[in-house]
Amino acid sequence: MEEKMERNNEVLILENISATYDSGEARLPVLKDISLRLKKGEFAALLGPSGSGKSTLLKIAAGLIRPDRGRVLLNGQESTGRVQKVGYMPQQDLLFPWKTLLENAALPLLAAGMAKKEASSRVRELLPIFGLEGFARYYPHQLSGGMRQRAALLRTVLIESSLLLLDEPFAALDAITRENLQEWLLSVLERFHRSVLFVTHSIDEAIYLADRVYLISERPGRIVLEQPIELPRPRSRGIITTAPFLSYKALLMKSLQSKD
Amino acid sequence: MEEKMERNNEVLILENISATYDSGEARLPVLKDISLRLKKGEFAALLGPSGSGKSTLLKIAAGLIRPDRGRVLLNGQESTGRVQKVGYMPQQDLLFPWKTLLENAALPLLAAGMAKKEASSRVRELLPIFGLEGFARYYPHQLSGGMRQRAALLRTVLIESSLLLLDEPFAALDAITRENLQEWLLSVLERFHRSVLFVTHSIDEAIYLADRVYLISERPGRIVLEQPIELPRPRSRGIITTAPFLSYKALLMKSLQSKD
Amino acid sequence: MKKWANTAKRSLPGALAVLAVLLLWEALCRVADVAVSKLPPPSAVILSLYHNASLLAEHSRATLAAVAAGLSLSVLVALALAVFMDRHSWLKQALYPLLIISQTIPIIALAPLFLIWFGLGLTSKIVVVALVCFFPMAINLVEGLEQVDPETINLLKVMQAGPAMIFRSAQLPAVLPYFFSGLKIAATYSVMGAVIGEWLAARWGLGVFMLRSMRSYQTANTFAAILVVVVLSLLLFKLTELAAWLAMPWHRHKSVYPEE
Amino acid sequence: MKKWANTAKRSLPGALAVLAVLLLWEALCRVADVAVSKLPPPSAVILSLYHNASLLAEHSRATLAAVAAGLSLSVLVALALAVFMDRHSWLKQALYPLLIISQTIPIIALAPLFLIWFGLGLTSKIVVVALVCFFPMAINLVEGLEQVDPETINLLKVMQAGPAMIFRSAQLPAVLPYFFSGLKIAATYSVMGAVIGEWLAARWGLGVFMLRSMRSYQTANTFAAILVVVVLSLLLFKLTELAAWLAMPWHRHKSVYPEE
Amino acid sequence: AGDGSSSDAEPDKITVLLDWTPNTNYSGMYAALEQGFYTEENLAVEFIQAPGSVIQIVSGGKAEFGVSYQEEVTFARLAGYPVVSIAAVLQHNTSGFASLKDKNITTPADFSGKTYGGWGSPVEEATIKALMEKDGADYSTVTIATTGEVDSLIVIEQEADFAWIYYGWTGVEAELKGMELNFIQLRDIDPALDYYTPVLVAGEALIEENPELIQRFMRATARGYRFAAENPAAAAEALLANAPELDRELVMASQEWLKDKYQDDAPRWGLQERERWESYTQWLFERGLIEEMIDVDKAFTNRFLE
Ligand SMILES: Nc1ncnc2c1ncn2[C@@H]1O[C@H](COP(=O)(O)OP(=O)(O)OP(=O)(O)O)[C@@H](O)[C@H]1O
Ligand SMILES: Nc1ncnc2c1ncn2[C@@H]1O[C@H](COP(=O)(O)OP(=O)(O)OP(=O)(O)O)[C@@H](O)[C@H]1O
Ligand SMILES: [Mg+2]
Ligand SMILES: [Mg+2]
């Protein structure tokens, strides 16, 4: 179907994914025939109503759930239903309550075989950027909601993988912290050519960050719109009041509302 | 200090609240001399950086934490450090994993002595409004992030109290679901004259919903701005593009940024 | 139908393992020509079971009465103790040493007192069973209650739920895994407890039968009695598993995703 | 200093309770004029303890050796069994019945086989202690491992953490409360287990002392030995509590807010 | 197991299993130990109490000698354990039924309607039944209960009316306590019940392979029992030295009571008569307690008593 060349250039391919949950009593169709391709270095955003299956799609991409139908290809390799090494950040932060912030964040480094000391200093370097300086030895229950989310994000970006799957990574952050982290994330991506598929409920955020926005319908989720965002990079904050930005915004809002 | 009359009209009074956490190793000052009064039927929003102590302040208001200094008065009664019956919605949804959505939401009704059957039908009535129809018998881990948040909100509004303390109640919701619930919440408040103190990271949301916005500084949190929002009620969505709205927004953004 | 097939399938490895051990044992007895009395081959045990069937049934009835009453009693005692100890920390500190002491004294050393206090009848056996069984449950419950997330309890307090409701809604479900773990241990011990009770003082029961065959070197008979004890214990254990399954419906739908 | 004062304070109710029981018992013996041969008053027990101090010390040494070795062995066995059973469900299904069987057979009925297999020396006592102790831990570990949130394991799999790291980072910490609960039960049983082992066959040990004083109608001496057993068991229990406290630092800072 | 007699060689290690806790029945052996009789035979003897497992361990070869009793040896041999009684520790059966004086149980007929507290052997029932039937009483009115490890003196004071005791230990203890007992001695009622208890046992394999070792052990042991009969106080001290946990007063009194019972009317200590083995085995067989007769000649031997 697709050229070999192009394929190799694509970090993640989802082909005709359908998924259903079996809640014991009833079967709930959640995703319907979703296809999606993410190029190397590309930043894609998923927008859609709550409960439409976005998180499920990310789990399928990470190989944590096997879809009823369809295939997942990671860097050209079929990986449907097999857990892969990807920078997956779940929607619930899933920080381990028995580990300090530092230990939680260092997990991916240790998993990759790094020595404890080195891992710890790597994490400590990044703490200020995430506004977590001074909290290295705090346990998750001693952190605020936004701090937990930042810790989870920090842990995720430390997973060495060309693909990041981020499930509402900034939902619990105030505008300023959010903006700072967005900038930092963009700079990291640029430097290391990582690809991102991320879920958000903020249209502004989606347009500002993404190269491509996918709009998902109500459950069972289908892709109702695939919108490339052709704004120049690097983007500055000012962009959100420019005409092209606002027209993207209007378009997406309309599409979202029409799904009601 | 204040007139008896006025006092009785105030559902919640926080007087010179200061709070410090003892994390075992170090003492972390979190709130500094916060005073705040919430009138009957008033809707107040708390804005502030992540980690500034907003959730802590809500817990203090609910009596779940005793502040180092200062007093809490609920309906004119001193209640510092004593758990009170208030509509408190924690930032983490805290749905009980062993209860279905229906059972979780029905908890406040059962606690108030309502019969199981009646409580269950009360909850079922509200499920469609919260977009949770058909999920009554789902367990929390079978719900999406946004659905969990909605379930927690539903549970909270069922606590019979004149005061709601909501900690980022809409953070995990898409724009449309969020708007629907905001409208519903406003209508409920109007009908039952409940007062709300709520935390949000969305400036738009704060202005749109609140009668008064409190801006909290970085940790240790102080109130740096108390801004009454004098927009007419009922408000319609269109209001967010009007000049007064935008000037409030500009003001708040500036104040927030200057705290950086 | 399907469920039965499933249960059968899950019991298969266990049955096979037991069978394997039996076969090995039979082979060992035959090849090594072990004197029947030292270690009777399973075939001899089965034969003895057959010959003594009605006698064993009668003895079993006496034992089972003690087990049923003792185990029930122990559940009540454990629950009551754990709840009170959790509620009042001084009670916990006061009672904990006594609980431990009750377990560290070899029952046989106390046999005379037992005989004096509870006589030769059923009571003494019930007491022995209860004494053996309540401890694993009590400890597990106390430890489990310590692990209950205080936030969930706080939430219920905010709803003004009483202690009974807090226990039913938050604490009990959270400690059920601990409780059932303890009950499994207790169920395993219960029949053996009754047998020991019968050794100390009894007219009837599997313990009496066992002792008589031991004293007259009818080892096959001793093992037949042991076999009955084992089967009864396994049945009780399975019953406990069933009870756990019924009591914790929320556990049924979780599973880790397949390997890799 | 402060910590010590604290510990002392927490131990006070327990000490008082024990003292109260002792006083009641002494009073009972004196008032009801119970024959010393049936129930010696605590004063007589203390006196006997004093007279037999050096002999008891020597016996204790033998018993403690068996306890130390047997308890350590049981921890290893329980851990190994639980881990393997958790990893391979067929192994669990195969071994579970055998584990239960190992506990339902009264040790005394198998005493001759034990002694023939493990000799008349220390080994057989160690085996008895281990047999008595491993079970509560194994069951608690197996049950605890079933409760581990699969999401945390999935997250580690995404990081490509190996089974060893998954065990160390997610499973072990999550089951530690279960493990220590089981260890507390085991520690409580351990000394009694050694005593039973010594009853089967021994030259030295508290069990020998106990049996000999029983058979020569020196009830006060029997109780003195019981007292030593109790004290040793309590010490082991306290050690376990200390170990739990050290092993689970993340538990230290949680607490429910004071009543009401 | 060595060739032995050269006393400068390493002493042979020997384990003797005790069927109960140390008591005056064993005094002869402890005396032999303390007096150095075993050392003279170049034996290093170790005593281990292993109640309930003596037969299995001795026949399994894990210990050389054990203490048992005729009834147990009979059951054990039938069950295939190759153990042989090599000496009678006491020449006559000193056991019997004890009850409190005020219960007025003086003959087996008085057992009617009473409760017996025993240790759970079927022989107990059969014995009571036989004795009662001989007196023409109705056995079915007796309640048999297990009271296991509970002190018999407590048993007969509490839930049960009578219990089976060894007078030389429990009876003496009752005397010391000032308890007044009625005691029905078995052999007074039925001579068939004058079986040997306790006895020393050894495995057939050892008898076959190393009779010389047994010879040496028995030589020293016999000396020990003779010593105990002549010097009860010293024998009691020997016992106490090895089991300091025991009650000195009881040991002394029991030793005094027992000193003449070791050898009693026999020509030499330890000798067993075929006839008494035969008649008790017959008695057991007649009452269905054993399914076949054992060959009593294989069950005991006097050959190690010089
Ligand atoms: N384990 C499960 N068992 C049954 N149903 C499930 C399970 N997990 C999710 N669901 C259902 O699947 C649907 C989609 O869930 P998902 O979490 O993918 O939504 P989402 O798009 O991420 O929503 P949100 O924006 O609220 O996070 C929901 O209706 C949810 O109830
Ligand atoms: N139990 C605790 N022990 C120690 N420190 C704590 C505890 N709870 C909160 N803190 C600290 O108090 C500070 C304020 O936390 P709080 O949750 O009130 O912030 P917040 O304003 O709600 O932030 P967010 O917007 O991220 O939710 C944080 O730095 C946090 O680490
Ligand atoms: Mg989601
Ligand atoms: Mg917060």
User: In this predicted complex, what is the ipTM?
Assistant: 0.90
Place of tokens 């929002």: B229
Model's pTM, two decimal places? 0.91
B114 pLDDT more than 90:
yes
For residue D38, which residues of chain E lie inside 8 Å, CB to CB? 154
Closest ligand 1 atom to Cα of A58: 18
Nearest CA to B23 out of A147, A100, D258, A119 is that of A100
3-state secondary structure of A114: coil
C-alpha of residue B105 to centroid of ligand 1, in Å: 18
Alpha-carbon span C136 to C185, nearest angstrom: 7
Instruction: Give the model confidence (pLDDT) of B18-39 as tens digits.
Output: 999 987 778 899 999 999 999 9
> What is the arithmetic mean of pLDDT over E47-67?
90
Instruction: Give the model confidence (pLDDT) of C121-159 as tens digits.
Output: 889 899 999 999 999 999 999 999 988 988 999 999 999
Binned at pLDDT 50, 70 and 90, residue E238 comes out as: very high
C244 touches chain B (CB under 8 A): no
Task: Give the residues across from E144 on adjacent strands.
Answer: E116
Alpha-carbon span A174 to B46, nearest angstrom: 11
Alpha-carbon span B94 to B152, nearest angstrom: 8
Domain membership flag for residue B138? no
D258 pLDDT more than 50:
no
For residue C166, which residues of chain B lie inside 8 Å, CB to CB? none
Alpha-carbon span A119 to A105, nearest angstrom: 9
B238 pLDDT more than 70:
yes
Tokens of E96: 């019997």
Nearest CA to D152 out of D134, D136, D167 is that of D167
Q: Which domain holds residue A49?
A: 2-86+161-248
- Closest C-alpha residue for ligand 1 atom 8: B142
CATH classification of the domain holding A170: 3.40.50.300
Could you tell me if A37 and A17 are in contact, meaning their C-beta atoms sit under 8 angstroms apart?
no
- Closest C-alpha residue for ligand 1 atom 3: B142
Q: Which residues contact E288 (CB under 8 A, 6 or more apart)?
A: E126
DSSP state of C249: G
What's the full length of chain D, in residues? Answer: 260
Domain membership flag for residue A104? no
Q: How many angstroms separate the Cα of E96 from the Cα of each of A191, E92, E107, E124, E126?
A: 98, 12, 11, 11, 14
Instruction: Describe the strand order of the beta sheet including A195-199 as a list of residue ranges.
Output: A87-89, A163-167, A195-199, A43-47, A212-216, A223-228
Q: Is the CB of A219 under 6 A from ligand 1?
A: yes
Query: Do the chains contact at B82 and D252, CB–CB below 8 Å?
Result: no
Q: What is the pLDDT of residue E151?
A: 83
Domain membership flag for residue B181? yes
Q: Cis ω on the peptide bond leading into residue A232 (within 30° of 0)?
A: no
Q: Is the CB of A25 under 6 A from ligand 1?
A: no
Instruction: Describe the strand order of the beta sheet including B27-39 as a list of residue ranges.
Output: B27-39, B10-22, B69-74, B77-78
Query: Do the chains contact at B51 and A92, CB–CB below 8 Å?
Result: no
A97 touches chain D (CB under 8 A): yes
Nearest CA to B11 out of B36, B42, B38 is that of B38
Q: Which of E79, E123, E149 sits opposite C111 (nearest CB)?
A: E149
Closest ligand 1 atom to Cα of A23: 4
CATH number of D46-251: 1.10.3720.10
A139 pLDDT more than 90:
yes
B235 pLDDT more than 80:
yes
C97 touches chain A (CB under 8 A): no
> What is the arithmetic mean of pLDDT over E111-133?
89
CB atoms under 10 Å from CB of C31, counted, come to 8
> What is the arithmetic mean of pLDDT over B113-136?
94
Instruction: Give the model confidence (pLDDT) of C203-214 as tens digits.
Output: 889 998 998 888
DSSP state of B93: -
For ligand 3, a single-atom ion, the residues with CB < 5 A are A 55, 91; B 144-145
C135 residue type, one letter? F
C-alpha of residue B140 to centroid of ligand 3, in Å: 13
Nearest CA to B134 out of B120, B144, B124 is that of B124
Sign of CA dihedral D140, D141, D146, D148: positive
Alpha-carbon span D12 to E259, nearest angstrom: 55
Nearest CA to C97 out of D227, D222, D180, D238 is that of D238
Nearest CA to A7 out of A73, A79, A74, A76 is that of A76
Closest-lying ligand to the alpha carbon of B30? Answer: 2
Could you tell me if D133 and D196 are in contact, meaning their C-beta atoms sit under 8 angstroms apart?
no
C-alpha of residue B103 to centroid of ligand 4, in Å: 26
Domain membership flag for residue A115? no
Strand E95-100 relative to strand E162-166, pairing: antiparallel
Nearest CA to D188 out of C180, C130, C134 is that of C134
C-alpha of residue C233 to centroid of ligand 4, in Å: 51
- Number of domains, chain A: 1
Place of tokens 């207790």: C186
Domain membership flag for residue A24? yes
Q: Could you give the angle at which helices C219-247 and C206-215 cross, rounded to 10 degrees? A: 150
Task: Give the residues across from B225 on adjacent strands.
Answer: B215
Q: Is the CB of A51 under 6 A from ligand 1?
A: yes
The dihedrals phi and psi of B12, each to the nearest 5 degrees, come to: -135, 130
B115 residue type, one letter? A
Q: Is the CB of A92 under 6 A from ligand 1?
A: no
Tokens of E65: 């000698």
Q: Which of B49, B150, B175 sits opposite A201 (nearest CB)?
A: B175
Query: Do the chains contact at D158 and A62, CB–CB below 8 Å?
Result: yes
Binned at pLDDT 50, 70 and 90, residue B86 comes out as: very high
Strand E199-203 relative to strand E65-68, pairing: antiparallel
C257 pLDDT more than 80:
no
Residue ranges in chain B assigned as alpha helix (H): 4-8, 54-62, 101-111, 116-126, 145-157, 175-192, 203-209, 243-258
